Structures are given as C-alpha cells and as structure tokens.
Structure 1
Amino acid sequence: MWEIKGTWNIEINPSPRQQGSGKKSICADKIFLLLFMLLSVVSSCQESKMNEKKQVWAGAVVAPKEYPVEIYNGALSSNEYAYNFGPIYGILKQGWSSSGKSMGRPDTPIEFPDELKMTWYAIQEQKFYTGNWKLDKEQISKVWQEGSLNVKTGTKEEFETLIVGLAPGGNVALWAEGARQVLLATFQAHDTTINKETANPDFEHFFRQEYRDVAYTPEKLYGTELYAQLQGKGWPDPKLYLDYNKKYAWKFAVEGIGIGPKDYFYYKCFNGERDQLLNTSDGNTDLPKAIPEHISVKWQDSKQQHWVADTRFKYDVIKKAFEQFDPAEKIDLLIQVDIASNVLNTYLKSSSKQVKIVGYDLALVPVDN
C-alpha cells in the first residue's frame, strides 16, 4: 500500500518570463498532477482494504438428527448489520455435518459479525440453552479471503455462509461454508428458563400443548427408521460432538492406480469440515485434520476413462483405528484399489504399523468427466 508521511512544502517560483503574468509553471503543474495520482492510489488502496472486511454472506443454523431444536432467538451481528434467527426456522434436525437452513442473504457486501447470540430449546433434553460470544472478525475475514479451490476449473471460489451448529449439552459450533467447510470456533452455552408469561409473542406456539402433541411425536422428530435405532442403541452421548473435533496428522495416499496432477481427493469429517484437494495440492499434507466420515478419489486411467473410488465410515469403527496411533504421528489414509477384481480397501498406515478400516457404501465405478 502507498503511504504519504510527513508534511510537503511546495514553493512555486515563477520564472522571470512568468513574473507578473499570473501563470503557474509547468513544473508546478506536474507536481500537482503527481500529488493527485498518489492520492488516488492511496484512496484506491484504502477502499480495497475496506472491501476485504466486507463480503456478501448469509447466516444458517443446523442441529443433529438425534437432537432436534427450536430457536427462540439469536443473531450473527456487527455494529453495521445483524443476521437474525428465530422461531420461523421451525424444528431443526438436518444433521451435524449438513448444510444449514438459511433465509437468504443481502445483495451488497456487509461487515463480518463480531458477536454471536443464540437461545434455543433442545427437544430431547427438554431444556433451554442460551449464550453470547465474541467472534474473531479478522479470522473470519482471513478464511474468507483464502476461499476454496475448484478442482475442476483450478479457480478460487469464495465462501457463502456462516453456519451455527447447536448440539446437545449446550455445545455450539461455527463454520464457514462454501466449496469447502471450515470449523471457525466452538462455544459453550448455559441453561436458562423461559416461560409463557415472559416469552416473545412469536414463540407463543411453543407453549400450546396441542402444537407439541403433534410436532413432537417421535415419527415427526426422527422418522421411523432413526427412532427405531435410537430406541435400540440409545441417544448419542452429548460429548460426542466435542469428540468429533479431535485431530490427527493424516493425509491421502493410494495404491493400485496411478493418479496425475489433475486428479483429486475429497473428504468430509465428522466435525463438519470438508474439502476437495488436487493430487498436487499443498492441502494434502499430514497437518492435523479431524476423523473423516466420507472419502473419495477421482482419477483418469491410461485409456482416458475417469473413475471414482468412494467410501463412508461409521464413527466408532474408524475412531478405533485412529486411536491406535498417536495424534502427532504421521499417518497415510491409504486407498487401495484393484480395478480388475473390483476391490476397494482402506487403511491407516504409519512408519510402524498398518490398520485396516472397514467402510460401507463402497463404490468403485467409471464416471463421466
């Protein structure tokens, strides 16, 4: 950025021929022109810097399928703008790592929020939670500027949404969502009490028994299949949503196929983070990442045919595999492919051991580009 410091003293001394003529010298005209150009550059740099602090973004909110919630009120806010949440969102139960429910976004760039407020009712726990937290606006801006890599075009894409996650036990998460999803922060809410006499008018429906008799039936809240699973195994421990954030130093590796610089990996973690990485990307390092829920690799063979190898994991299965390694130990998440036999296996591999991970919904298929 250009900076002008100190005081500029400019004297205009007319030449003998110009004395008494009332005309400025050509030299003075050039100085003024230079000053104008410098000030224009400074103004442009300052405007660009201000625009980095503003983006077009939306707010959204999610809750686990096993722990649906109703929002009482809340907001992602700054001095300039507030993205509000309320009962209009209805009962939320999309899933912890799913895209959030949003009510649209503004048409013009706005400041990133520096505060999150949220009050909600946890249906399964039968209690209200509330909290008010400061956000790191500079961190949000930095992540937004980094953006996401579109592996098909090689271009950068910006984030679109700030997602608030509401988990049991008053656990709260904040993600930046776009082509990739990044966990920005986690928070802890506390219990609170809201009654019919003091509640906001737009939350009046909550206190009508006929509403809750209909909306809170197990079939409506969970669906028949999930409710049967929950009755059999019980509801997940609320601490699970904090456990998801534990990270290990893993990266992708492959065996049985050759992948080139334009081939890529995909991962989605149990803590909600996800990304797509070119085979040559710096992102495919053994820097700490959370345990993956879903992975895939897409590549092109020697006959120009594109393939995808794709698998998902159950948390208790893959967690046991990762727990056999130290969190600081460098690990390859090895995707082993045998096209001829239509076999796809996955392993965790370090310099000292190799552990097989049993996945499900396995897919090893040719695809269009």
Structure 2
Amino acid sequence: MRKRNDIDKIFLLLFMLMSIISSCQELKMSEKKYIWSGALVAPREYPVEIYDGALISEDYTYRFGPIYGIIQQGWSVQSKGMGSPDEPVALPDELQMTWYAIQEEKFYTGKWKLDKQQLTTIWEEGAVDVRTQKKDDFKTFIVGLAPEGRLALWADGQRQVLLAMFQAHDTTITQETAHEDFEHFFRKEYRDAAYKPQKLYGDELYATLEGQGWPKPQLYMEYNKKYAWKFAVEGIKIGPKDYFFYQCFNGERDMPLNTDSANTNLPKAIPEHVYVKWADGDKKYGVADVKFKYEILKKAFEEFEPTEKIDLLFEIDPSANVLNTYLRSSSKKIKIVGYEPALVRVDN
C-alpha cells in the first residue's frame, strides 16, 4: 500500500510539473510584442564613450558599441535609436552596459534585470497625441549615462517616462583585453584630438566649466525629486482642446490636454522647459513658452511643504505681450525670475 501511495505522489508531482511548464509556454506564446529601439544620452559636461552594451529580450538583442562615438547630447533631451527590428519583439528584461567616463577617466560596467511587468504596463498605456487625439505607442528605450557610474533608463514616445535608475561599478579595460572595435581608444593621437577640451565641450561651455567648475555628480540624482504641481493660467481663456507641454530636468516629458484628468497635482520633477498653447481665434493660436534655470526654480519649490499642492501659474496679458510665471499654493505665491520667456502667435 505504501509503495502504491509513493507512485501516486510521483504521478501527481509529474502532472503538476507538466501543468506549470504548459502554463509558462502558453504565457510565453501569448506575450505581446512591440517594435522598439535603443538610444543613448549623457550630460554635456560629462561625455562618455561606449565600450559595449545591450538591451536583451527573449527573442531579440539591441546592441550598443563604439559606433555611437562620444555621447554628450545632454541629460534631458530626446534621442533617436539607430534602427529597430523589422518585426515586433518582446520587451527587454535585461540591460548591460560598459562605458568610459571621459571627465572621470574611468570605465564603468554593470548588468541589471528589468521589471518586465512595469515595462509592459507603461508600453500598453502609451500616451495620447494631443494633436490627433489618438493613442501613440512608446518607441525607444533611452539609456542615460551619468557621472559616478549612475545610469538612467527612460521610455520615450509622445511622453518620456523614467523607468529606473541603476548603479554601475568601475572596471579596468586595457589595450590587451579590449575588443578590436575599441582599439582607437588606446591611440594617443586619437585621444589628443578627440579629448581636447575646446573640441569636447565647445569654447563657451568650457569657459563656464573652467570658471565655475563641473556640476556636482549627485545633481543627476537630485533632478529626480518630485513635487505635487500642475499648470494654471490667468489672463487668457483656455479651452478643453488646448494643451500644455513640460520637459523636466530629470528627462521626463509630457504634453497633457487642459483637462482635470490630465493636468493634475501628480508629483513631477522640476520642469526645465514648459509652454501652453491655446486657440486665439480662427486658426490662430497663442504660445507662452518658458525655459527655467534649475537652481532658481528649485529654490522656489523648496519654499513649499513637501506635500503641498502647487500651481505653476502663467499670468498672460496678450494685449501688452507680457508673460509672468509663479509658483502658487493656498498659502503663498512666489514669482519666478531668471528665465527666458516668450509669448508668440502661431498659425497651427
């Protein structure tokens, strides 16, 4: 009897194992796939060179390498991928990256697992294109390489969303151990020419860096701090089809319609560039456009309590062509200065 019970248990375990395998296979077969590519960014002040890297899914690998050259477009910019698969593929579940930080004179490397459920949720969510009123898919994974081995990963499309931050560790790559595509790095004549400060940064930026010093490496983490702010406008009439745009210092970006559901006090990072576009007559539109300086706007946000709901207020006087901006809560109103405002008319 005991032998028969043991056999029954074995059959039961085998049945359960086969069921699990079958369920996994069905899930794998039913997983939705997408067309996506990868791109790279780095701060202008902290340029990098790519040794190698990859975004890896179960059926596709998007590779990064020395062909990208020196990366330094800026931290909060959009970046286009270099090609994409011909057919939809699974979203990546692993990121690998090895790079050389030019200003720090150091190699960094790392390998990280990605949150597949998070990626799938965001990819399915997409974003509404305010001009067409249609849902638009995300298209690109942007990898950002910051000083001290920090790495950011964004999803980019109609909006740009910060998915995660990672920490790499330093490593050593020598001329003897490097792969052949990176051999140029070890040629003195290449580095003397490519790393010449005026060529690397440009005369104006280099003069600023020489005078004020390089931004503190922690800045690219500080950019991620968020506040409960939304847009508000006074002086003009904003309709339900009018919209706002914001791009934050941490790279996140969106373009919400002027509706309660889209323009809310959700926590967002400090904005670098914002504008509002509104109907101003028959096929005529107005645009109020502002670019902020980080330290000035950060100081203003810090005047409010961490949980306080804040309006980023545009006060617009079209007749006098005047635009002023404020941070406003139920307790105080602070005028923002030290920015580049623009108030213009456009035809579409």
Cα deviation for residue 229 of structure 1 reads: 1.1
Structure number with larger C-alpha Rg: 1
Q: CA deviation at 1:304?
A: 5.7
* Change beyond 3 A, Cα 1:249–1:205: same
CA distance in 2 between counterparts of 1:65 and 1:188 reads 20
Distance 1:159-1:297 versus aligned 2 partners, 3 A rule? same
The amino acid that maps onto 2:267 is P
What does 1:63-78 align with in structure 2 at a 5 Å threshold? 63-78=42-57
Amino acid at match of 1:322: F
Alignment of structure 1 residues 1-369 onto 2, 5 Å: 53-280=32-259, 282-301=261-280, 305-369=284-348
Shift of 1:148: 1.3
Which letter maps to 1:263? D
The separation in 2 between residues aligned to 1:363 and 1:49, in whole angstroms, is 51
Give distance in 2, aligned partners of 1:293 and 1:360: 10
TM-score norm. by structure 2 comes to: 0.90
Preserved CA contact (<8 Å) 1:159 1:179: yes
Q: What is the CA–CA distance in structure 1 between the aligned matches of 2:283 and 2:112, rounded to whole Å?
A: 52
> Which string of whole-angstrom CA distances, capped at 9 and with x for unpartnered residues, describes residues 243-268 of structure 1?
00000000000111110001000000
Residues in 2 aligned to 1:264 and 1:294: alpha-carbon distance in whole angstroms: 14
RMSD over equivalenced CA pairs, Å: 1.7
Structure 2 distance, partners of 1:128, 1:75, is 17
| TM-fit CA distance, 1:103 | 1.6
CA contact (8 A) 2:283 2:347 kept: no
Work out whether residues 346 and 359 of structure 1, in 8 Å CA contact, stay in contact via their aligned partners in 2: no
The 2-side partners of 1:348 and 1:229 are apart by 29
Mark the runs of 5 or more structure 2 residues left unpaired by the alignment. 1-24
Which residue is 2:5 aligned to? none
Displacement of 1:309 after TM fit? 0.4
Judge which range, 297-306 or 282-291, deviates more.
297-306
CA contact (8 A) 1:181 1:273 kept: yes
1:261–1:50 distance in 2 versus 1, CA, 3 Å: farther
The answer as to whether partners of 1:89 and 1:101 remain within 8 angstroms in 2 is: no
Aligned length: 324
Following TM superposition, by how much is the alpha carbon of 1:102 offset from its aligned partner in structure 2, in angstroms? 2.3
Distance in 2 (CA, whole Å) between partners of 1:363 and 1:47 is 55
Instruction: Compare 79-88 and 164-173 and name the one that shifted more.
Output: 79-88
Which amino acid is 1:297 matched to? V
Please list every run of 5 or more consecutive structure 1 residues that lacks an aligned counterpart in the other structure: 1-45
Distance 1:302 1:359, change over 3 A: farther
Q: CA deviation at 1:327?
A: 2.2
**Which whole-Å deviations, capped at 9, do the CAs of 1:124-149 have from their partners, x for residues lacking one?**
00001111111011111111111111
Tell me how far apart the structure 2 counterparts of residues 150 and 168 of structure 1 sit (CA, whole Å).
Answer: 34
SS in 1 for 2:256: strand
d(CA) in 1 for partners of 2:120 and 2:263?
23
**Does the aligned pair in 2 maintain the 1:251–1:332 contact within 8 Å?**
yes
Percent identity over the alignment is 68
How far apart, CA to CA, are the structure 1 residues paired with 2:183 and 2:131?
A: 49
User: Following the alignment from structure 1 to structure 2, what is the Cα–Cα distance between the partners of residues 51 and 225?
Assistant: 54
Contact 1:65 1:93 in 2 (8 A): yes
Quote the Cα distance in structure 1 between the aligned partners of 2:165 and 2:190: 32
Query: Judging changes above 3 Å, is the alpha-carbon distance between structure 1 residues 48 and 345 closer, same or farther for their aligned structure 2 residues?
Result: farther
Contact 1:67 / 1:167 at 8 angstroms: preserved in 2?
Answer: yes
